[in-house]
Structure 1
């Protein structure tokens, strides 16, 4: 089945039945250590995960970790230019849920981005990015605690679909000529790309965002788009979102128009408000009125910008988790880069992978584990015992190594 991997002798597979995960007490979970600082981060994170599982379940449940390869480590195992081996994709498909550290993007030809390739091959259409502030973390805004949002970013379409051609190429010239025949002029020396946004892709990401709000008792979902300019792509994303909500969630969702036309601006109890905002205005809204938003759903590029901008408001990507999710498969990941100059120095903040683990355990239905990890992280930050990136901004803080920070999180569970 595998070329170079050996599946764990112990542990059980996560399965899917009637659209829901069936999680055994000893799930096998593939992990990709990551490049650069990835090994330091993973060692710390796994210790935190295992300690939280033990404390939550007293030995009745455990994760069987299964290392699979991508990025630079894959080259050592599989050979030159094998950045993402079939073994890894096969393992994630077999075991359903995986977690990964940061990966290098290869320079030059071949795979455009390992992260993008994983998302497209596994059809991980929802990039889910929760953004919240942890008390005590230095932040550039006056009241970072007002921001607590979950961003659902469509992961497979828009400009990230990778349909583009270089300036001067034969393909670019053909496309420019074709568009000219449709009455539109593009400068001859342009690089050109295609921005596909489908009804199918739009509806399923909006569906997932609304269902998330329902499952967690939230009261607002906001569609973010640039439909005032890109009317037939991002404008269509907005329209398809509203149509989907009216068709499938009419008993749960109230549009902003109906809120005022039918309910005098007062949201009925138990309902979710579905509204929309233009992307550039939304950046202002999240700075000036962040506590008015809960769940955000958006096409790919908008979501990329918004998620990192929101993370900056609450202290940066060091504590920003992410998950890439389909209707079953899920890969949780660090949202920051590999920071190779800090590799093997045991100094980097492992918070992004640790909090991505929180998302993973919530996805598995192991909420007690997720809550213990958050408690431990809050405790470590509250005592100002943190890694260098936070310590240098926190008066009176104690600087810890990556491994020591993990120990401190465990001690505060």
Structure 2
């Protein structure tokens, strides 16, 4: 194994022979046989993750004539974490991802109710351990937990959730401007109401906050309220907007838009916009021009070589990405609105089945399927693996292997154009009256992509 750091003493993780990815000046340094972590995921992760690995292997082999090859390192969380460690988010898994620097994962079960336990096979929630009341499995019920996805992000400070939104010709889309959609969302990942400062009605902390607010402001919060805290910091905001600005510069994009609800939440969301402008104008002043300066100083005409930095109110942007999506290329948002925006935006171009995503920190990058576990389809080889395959495209681009990434994109475009698609896209295409649509399996879609790599 080649690399500059010592091997941790892992219990369950078996690091394969290959090249450890390192990071230098914020960029990954990747050998010809990089070791990449892979977390299968729960539910349909059983189907989509192997399909992704096969597509990536074919693209890498074709792009580099067999001179490069990813060495996959299995890592465990969710159901597999429960089986290997007795917990859904093992410390060893986090340590292994940090060691490897790059990983990709399938979807994980996230409990949504107040029940004390959840089955990681079928997602049924119940009030006891042991056998699942729904599916009858005896080895998949875990104590209720918050979120494996959020836990991974917070444990490794993966502060940027990056979601490209693009249209593929031939995909039925509800918006008539879908073919104009081509932007990327940078969502702050560690703060806002998702930070975990969420306190139950009647609890000690909730009561203390209610009392403190009354004491300091004279305002009364209802005593029977659950309480959530919404932290947004200078540090969290600026590093997120900095990444968004750097992306716009590196990819020669025309604008960065700061999305916020600062008209109401002035010292959190409003500050996000203020601090975001400071990054663009103070750190990248030679590259950016504000919307105000554009009109006050340049008569509305963009100066050559400049990028526009602007802001939009959150509720307004949901309308604007539908009515004039071509005006946006990079969006930077706080956590909650970023979550809403990501899923709303991908609906413009056909839904989460073709929605990739990544969670990126200072050194570690974790790529992921952005949809749920769909347990009723587990093992049926039926669902669309497009999300995790496109996330692998992002991973390859992050590693500097753009030739392999481009082959996969070419294969996806051609497969969709030829009507070789999974059931979700096939039924929509047929509903539109399209002829020659061939519904393929999950693995079959992967094979269709491979066959069309040019």
TM-score by length of 2: 0.89
2:41 counterpart of 1:6: no
| Counterpart residue number, 1:100 | 105
Select 2:79's aligned residue among 54, 62, 72.
72
Mapped to 2, the partners of 1:78 and 1:364 lie a distance apart of 30
2:263 counterpart of 1:228: yes
Select 2:36's aligned residue among 29, 50, 54.
29
| Counterpart residue number, 1:289 | 324
3-state secondary structure, aligned to 2:107: coil
Mapped to 1, the partners of 2:176 and 2:12 lie a distance apart of 52
3-state secondary structure, aligned to 2:72: strand
| Counterpart residue number, 2:165 | 131
2:399 counterpart of 1:364: yes
Select 1:91's aligned residue among 78, 88, 96.
96
| Counterpart residue number, 1:212 | 247
Which contiguous aligned blocks of 4+ residues in structure 1 show a shift greater than 3 angstroms? 106-111
Mapped to 2, the partners of 1:21 and 1:301 lie a distance apart of 29
Q: Could you tell me whether the CA contact under 8 Å between 1:222 and 1:275 is conserved in 2?
A: yes
Deviations 1:19-50 (A, max 9, x none): 22111111000000010000100111110000
| Counterpart residue number, 2:193 | 159
2:255 counterpart of 1:247: no
Superposition pairs of residues 228-377 of structure 1, within 5 angstroms: 228-377=263-412
Deviations 1:237-272 (A, max 9, x none): 000011111110000010111111111111111110
Q: What 5-or-longer segments of structure 2 have no aligned partner?
A: 1-8, 117-142
Superposition pairs of residues 193-208 of structure 1, within 5 angstroms: 193-208=228-243
Mapped to 1, the partners of 2:254 and 2:177 lie a distance apart of 22
3-state secondary structure, aligned to 2:163: strand
Q: Could you tell me whether the CA contact under 8 Å between 1:44 and 1:350 is conserved in 2?
A: yes
Select 1:173's aligned residue among 207, 216, 230.
207
| Counterpart residue number, 1:382 | 417
Mapped to 2, the partners of 1:142 and 1:20 lie a distance apart of 38
RMSD: 0.9
Mapped to 2, the partners of 1:254 and 1:12 lie a distance apart of 42
Mapped to 1, the partners of 2:23 and 2:145 lie a distance apart of 30
Q: Could you tell me whether the CA contact under 8 Å between 1:111 and 1:117 is conserved in 2?
A: no
Deviations 1:46-90 (A, max 9, x none): 1000000000001111100000001011111112xx001112111
User: Deviation of residue 111 (structure 1)?
Assistant: 3.4
Mapped to 1, the partners of 2:12 and 2:408 lie a distance apart of 33
User: Deviation of residue 110 (structure 1)?
Assistant: 5.6
2:153 counterpart of 1:113: no
Mapped to 2, the partners of 1:217 and 1:359 lie a distance apart of 18
Mapped to 1, the partners of 2:304 and 2:76 lie a distance apart of 48
Q: Could you tell me whether the CA contact under 8 Å between 2:160 and 2:188 is conserved in 1?
A: yes
Q: Could you tell me whether the CA contact under 8 Å between 2:160 and 2:359 is conserved in 1?
A: yes
User: Deviation of residue 182 (structure 1)?
Assistant: 1.2
3-state secondary structure, aligned to 1:141: coil
